[in-house]
Amino acid sequence: MAAAKDFSKPAIVILGYGLNPDGTMRAILRRRVLTGLTVAQFFPQSPIIVTGGNPQNGNTEAGQMRKMLLLLGFPDNRIIVEDRANSTVQNAQFSVPLAKEAGTSGIILVTSTTHQGRADGDFTDAGGDILATVSYPDGNPSVNVTQFARDAISPFVDVG
């Protein structure tokens, strides 16, 4: 029988998505950030790891995600920036050690439904302990991000 998953201090890893040529975030990436932010509200002791390089116009995916989190009031000391990855495999290879260094109990992945299977596999291959994956449905922008994230995380924590 698998050991119970430890949600005492998960790292919340938000996976990047290609920026526009002018360096701004696409809607899919903004939704991932909002989803990750909502998840993080249930784990006040947890860091958010933003992962993604692929610079456009001097901005990386991770850098833009950090800026958005700060604009939304998320504390800078809870953000870990991984801005070298150029693929999902590298997102995993670079983020898993950061999650371990931060003393976390495992990883909650935040991505999109179209990306989930690949991301789960890559993070497992990199030695990550995946506690949960919260995948926003890309094809349906009408889904309420906050409600979606609450529903996704409610099996694991009391969302009140």
Structural domains of the chain, count: 1
Give the structural domain span for 39: 10-100+112-153
pTM for this predicted structure? 0.93
Residue 82's CATH number: 3.40.50.620
Nearest alpha carbon to residue 64 among 81, 41, 46, 85: 81
123 within domain boundaries: yes
160 residues of the chain, pLDDT tens digit each: 556 899 999 999 999 999 999 999 999 999 999 999 999 999 999 999 999 999 999 999 999 999 999 999 999 999 999 999 999 999 999 999 999 999 999 999 999 887 788 899 999 999 999 999 998 777 666 778 888 888 888 888 887 7
